[in-house]
A and B are shown apart, each in its own frame.
Chain A
């Protein structure tokens, strides 16, 4: 089947070798074309690696404060209901510093969509422990590996938000072609629900960070398959039908 990457997302990004932000960007670009919403998307990024995307997208963008893109994207949607408003953030932003913002967007069932790239570390600052760092995973702030007795256990968004009255919650991965195709389905469904003002949608994507994991890009994907997915299962957790 003929395919080429949409022009709304740029090839000349400066992410590290094997960083999956490019894969996720391609999915966003394709979905926007399929939904006919390329000219309607406004993305609020977090700081750090993801903020560099503002130069790699042909979408209107806002660089939010660390951990606060979700309320910022909500503010955009409140005053521009005809636009799609996506908050783009990492695990450190969504589940560490911005946990209150993530939880309360879900509690209020805010009319906003969040995309969380979960690579189990604070990446831009050099690979520190985050809420989703795996037990035993070595980081620059847990050099002998994350210990339950010290840093607690990894945070699971599907357990925290699983019983909430929100529009959509799913987790995908980018470790294989099949996983990427499935992730695109989740992401597209979330964007469709968001377009229809159905409520809070959160899609988490398990992504590699070869640089901070100290693994090759190919081995990073293998690690996602063999270690990360068993801890963080992929799938749809909430799929509420229709407008509430």
Chain B
């Protein structure tokens, strides 16, 4: 089930989401967006939709869907 929606084009690669995810559900994607940043990916299985990434992200990448 998709719990988080990500707008990866907004990502600036600060990784505050990764550092603050309590379930280690966020990892590097190995891919680069149009801004030139290596963006993140969310493991929807591990995600508990706590909103930590939403809180920490300065670039509004995350929406919590559930």
Q: Which residues of A, 165-193, contact B by the 8 Å Cβ criterion?
A: 176-177, 180-181
If over half of B's interface residues share one DSSP class (helix, strand or loop), that class is named, otherwise mixed; here it is: loop
A26 at the interface (CB under 8 A from B): yes
Q: How many A-B residue pairs have CB under 8 A?
A: 66
CB of B28, distance to nearest CB on chain A (Å): 13
A103 at the interface (CB under 8 A from B): no
Residues of A within 8 A of B49 (CB): 1
Residues of A within 8 A of B12 (CB): 17-18
Partner of A218, one of B14, B37, B64: B14
Q: A11-B59, A18-B58 are in contact. Are A2 and B10 (CB under 8 A)?
A: no
Is A21 touching B58 in the complex (CB atoms < 8 A)?
Answer: yes
B41 at the interface (CB under 8 A from A): no
Q: How many residues of B contact A (CB 8 A)?
A: 26
Partner of B64, one of A2, A9, A216: A2
Residues of A within 8 A of B51 (CB): 1, 3, 177
Seen from chain B, the residues whose Cβ lies within 8 Å of a Cβ on chain A are 7, 10, 12-16, 18-20, 37, 49, 51-52, 54-61, 63-66
Q: Can you give 9 contacting A-B residue pairs, CB < 8 Å?
A: A12-B10, A18-B16, A22-B58, A22-B59, A26-B60, A177-B20, A218-B14, A218-B18, A221-B19
The 4 closest A-B pairs by CB, nearest first: A22-B58, A217-B14, A11-B60, A4-B63
Seen from chain A, the residues whose Cβ lies within 8 Å of a Cβ on chain B are 1-5, 9, 11-13, 15, 17-23, 26, 176-177, 180-181, 210, 216-218, 221
